[in-house]
Homo-oligomer: A and B are copies of this chain.
């Protein structure tokens, strides 16, 4: 062994990780449901092979069958009220979904479509009549449904969708019609084969008046055949997730009773009078959409756990595989003893831990907001923003991590018998569905610029531009949620060029101050650019296009700040033991890697000297060497059932 354990110096002694205890920290309050899911994963482990052995139709049936089998264990119904057969615990439902992501991702997405999207829409947009009618059978999987929102012509711009639902007061029915080819419902999971019902989002028209997007329960299949007026097309083979039957749906004057409107936030009287407790149409729309936030929380958490599977395989392979002579007459060196290999994998392990704890926070907030009907607007908007941001960073992290791990496992990683082929193909679309990541980050930035003020909820990006530029820059900054950070940062970090020379790189207050400063500065800069742009060019579209990369960057650094805070906050709650020491190394590695990746920005903005920037890179290499001997314990602590690694060539 030529691993130079000698390098770390200065009172450091290698922590001895208690893997079991670390798993308990990670599983948190949802250990029980996670264990149930792990048991179910192992029981149905054959699905990993079936995913490649069965043809598409047979695999779709198998996945449906498994989703129903999981439902019988209670695993998939945790988010529904107990009175209808659910578990009455939204947080647990998310934890169950996250854990399921260790296994086949078609099954994960099938479960997400049925119980999350379809079930969630019935639950959150419907009222008691819908709950009574559908929830009991939906929870057992006896009644399958789909969530028909996305259209070909409007992927991310839901407000502009083209399906129309016209109220016919004579028959007391809604007439649902696909207006134009761009308005066909597209990529709809569960649609091609299994759904009997669809929750259809359509522009409601009552008495000739457009009332905006609303959701309706529409039967799309009767005895296995499309319902009258409904046309369904199979979306066909996809890059991955072929156990999910995605399809397209057209509606040709399909009539549903007045009661089919999911009427929690708006209703139409038999006589044809539109009523809603929320007056502002934009606010009403975003309130409806907001109830669907759990989908984003679920996908983000699932992606983070899919990344764990890839990292567990790559790390275990790297402590088994030798390559090239270390020295004459010795064994070849283990891959993970190479500095480059450490640099490739270990910061990703650290970021995965960081995102895990960030996901804990967003899951807890979701649980709190949805478990009480009293949650205020501001809280909901902050939750939506955090969910969008965590989803974006988590899914990009999964794509990047799975790719890096595949490459780090060489040719063996390319064989389908090892898990990367499925992981990569199945997880690819996570960056797109439940909201395209770039669109989501724009949402996050909008929230920051307007401080989630509900009067601006209905603003699109151009409304946001006009709002921001309609007032003094100082007012914008004053209004932003970041403003309060500014003072904190200033207290911590005295000004001048030498401001950061005193703090230690491994001081989490220093690390936090850096990412807080970055966020505050970038947001204020964005507000100034928007204002200047409008002053000069006066065309909001062009102004927005001009600064769009800045908008995305602001959102990204905001979410990274939240992620680091989540990690630091969690660390502070832990007892002083070796596990905490190990997590502390990971937290430092994550924080410094984040700063290093953006070190050009910090130098450009006078917050990092050249010397200190180089010191950060050296410190990261040092941290990698410290984490190296802990790596296997750290990935074992994720508690991935060994059957899920399914890489006989790689981990034995």
Residues of A at the B interface (CB closer than 8 Å) are 2, 4, 52, 150, 154-157, 160, 186-187, 235-240, 323-327, 332-333, 337-340, 343, 399, 403, 406-407, 410-411, 413-417, 420-421, 424-425, 428-429, 431-433, 436-438, 460-462, 537, 539-542, 545-549, 551-552, 599-600, 603-606, 610, 613-614, 621
Contacts and interface: CB of A to CB of B under 8 A. Distances in A.
13 contacts: A4-B537, A4-B545, A155-B410, A187-B411, A239-B416, A239-B424, A326-B541, A337-B545, A338-B545, A340-B438, A406-B428, A603-B604, A605-B610
A186 B429 contact: no
B417 A431 contact: no
B237 A52 contact: yes
Given A186-B411, A333-B545, A414-B429, 17 more contacts: A2-B542, A4-B537, A4-B546, A156-B323, A160-B325, A238-B416, A239-B406, A239-B420, A239-B425, A324-B461, A326-B462, A338-B545, A339-B546, A339-B547, A340-B552, A406-B428, A425-B425
Contacts of A417: 236-237
What are the 3 A-B residue pairs with the smallest beta carbon separation, nearest first? Answer: A239-B421, A600-B600, A237-B416
A295 B44 CA distance: 43
Copies of the chain in the assembly: 2
Contact of A539 (B235, B327, B432, B540): B327
Contacts of A605: 610
Given A157-B323, A433-B411, A604-B603, A541 B333 contact: yes
B324 A157 contact: yes
Most buried by B among A236, A237, A417, A428: A428
Nearest to A322: B153
B545 A339 contact: yes
Given A155-B411, A239-B416, A2 B436 contact: no
Q: Is the interface of A mostly helix, strand, loop or mixed?
A: helix
A548 B339 contact: yes
A433 B413 CA distance: 12
B157 A327 contact: no
A41 to B, nearest CB: 22
A608 B81 CA distance: 61
Nearest to A545: B339
Contacts of A621: 546, 549
Contacts of A237: 52, 415-417, 421
Contact of A431 (B326, B407, B428, B545): B407
Contacts of A414: 187, 238-240, 428-429, 432
A424 B339 CA distance: 29
Nearest to A157: B324
A415 to B, nearest CB: 6
Nearest to A326: B541
